[in-house]
Structure 1
Amino acid sequence: MKITKTTIEGCLRVENTILEDDRGFFVETYRQSELSAALGRPYRFAQGNHSRSQPGVLRGFHTEPWDKLFYVASGTALCVVADTRPESPTFGRHERFLLGDEGTRDRVFIAEGLSNGFYTFSEVHYINDVSGEFTPEGRGGVIWNDPTLAIDWPVADPLLSEKDAGLPTLAQLHPDHSLVTAL
């Protein structure tokens, strides 16, 4: 297992070793001790979540008040992490990860307050473990096609939930921030 930092403060890629043979594969998706060491703080899960999405679905960008460690258990998805924290030195940056059957079996860790979304190329089983139990308070998000983030999604008209289709832009959330006012 190799844990590397990305260009976004608080976003880590957990690269896993896959043991494969003619029966299939085995992968250790994370070790708490190694993740805690990479973060420089203890990390514990409070809740695990599993969603299934049909091909052509885009979920996000969701912002939550907890740390999250996610991966694609089956199918293929383009997962994107965006820094939507206005006080962050990496505000406005994003990272893309192709995860699952046609990508990697890596996991991605994101710190509280980062936003993430994913687009499904096939039916996808998306697993995430979070450091806090679900409550609707503190949850938010940014519209998937935000012009400040300028994500190069592989689709112009994805299948969205009503909630995700109505999320605000970064400029609406942070009208006085220099990055969004420069556009």
Structure 2
Amino acid sequence: MNVERTAIGGLFVVRSPWIEDRRGAFRETYRQSLIAEACGRPYDFAQGNVSRSAAGVLRGFHLEPWDKFLQVAAGRALVVILDPRPGSPTFGKHLRFELSGEGDQRLLISEGLANAFWALEPCVYLNDVSREFTRDGRRGVAWDDPDLRIDWPGKDPILSDADRFWPRLASITGLAVSGGLARQENAGSSPAENAR
């Protein structure tokens, strides 16, 4: 298992390859000690969630008061992580990941970051969170905020009413937003790497 930093502070890619033999395949989905070492603090999860989405569904951007550990268990999705934190060096920037049930990646997202995904095909999306769900403090950012400059696969996704009407980031923070992709030059593997 390998935990990698990204250009956005508090966002980590956790890679765990499948080990295959004549019986099938096995993979480790997370190891608490490795994650805590790489991230500098323990990540504890209080609730696990799963959603099934049809192709063309977009969920997000969700900005909730908990850490998240995301995985696509079946199908494919474009997952976008946005940094909406004023004062962050990557404020208004985002990173994109194509996750699939056949891939080896999970995303560990610290509280304060926003996430969204577009189902590229029917998909099953796992979302472990560090607190039990409540509607208190749940917020969001408009998926199509032009200031963010996100290259989505289309312009007319299938949305919930809540996701259709989230505000633009500038109206939440009161700050000008110069969006775009976060630069990857600050990213790299963490010292906590251990191939299984």
Specify if TM > 0.5. yes
Indicate the residue corresponding to 2:172 in structure 1.
Answer: 173
The residue that corresponds to 1:128 in the other structure is: 127
1:25 matched to 2:1: no
User: Which residue of 2 is the match for residue 10 of structure 1?
Assistant: 10
Question: For residues 12 and 148 of structure 1, what CA distance do their matches in structure 2 show?
Answer: 24
Matched-pair contact (CA < 8 Å) for 1:11–1:108: yes
Q: Hey, what does 1:77 align to over in structure 2?
A: 77
Q: Secondary structure at the match of 1:61?
A: strand
Q: Which runs of 4+ in 1 moved over 3 A?
A: 21-24
RMSD, matched Cα: 1.4
User: What is the distance in 1 between the residues matched to 2:39 and 2:29?
Assistant: 16
Aligned partner letter, 2:159: L
**Corresponding residue of 2:100:** 100
1:43 equivalent to 2:52? Answer no
Percent of aligned positions with the same letter in both sequences?
A: 53
Number of positions where the alignment pairs a residue of Structure 1 with one of Structure 2: 178
Partner residue of 1:66? Answer: 66
Q: How does 1:84-163 map to 2 (within 5 A)?
A: 84-101=84-101, 104-163=103-162
**1:119 partner SS:** strand
| Distance (Å, rounded) in 2 between the aligned partners of 1:41 and 1:129 | 17
Secondary structure class of the residue paired with 1:148:
helix
* TM-score w.r.t. length of structure 2: 0.86
SS in structure 1 opposite 2:146? coil
CA offsets 1:128-161 (integer angstroms, 9 cap, x no match): 1111111111110101111121110111111011
Deviation, 1:23, is 4.6
Deviates more, 1:111-120 or 1:141-150: 141-150
Aligned-partner Cα distance in 2 for 1:133–1:101:
25
TM-score (norm 1): 0.92
> 1:146/1:57 Cα in 2 relative to 1: closer, same or farther (>3 Å)?
same
1:155 aligned partner, one-letter code: G
Task: Answer whether contact 1:64 1:140 (CA < 8 A) is retained.
Answer: yes
TM-superposed CA distance for 1:87, in Å, is 2.7
SS of structure 1 residue aligned to 2:38: helix
| Structure with more contact order per residue of length (Cα contacts < 8 Å, sep ≥ 6) | 2
Deviates most, 81-90 or 5-14: 81-90
Structure 1 unaligned residues grouped into runs of 5+: none
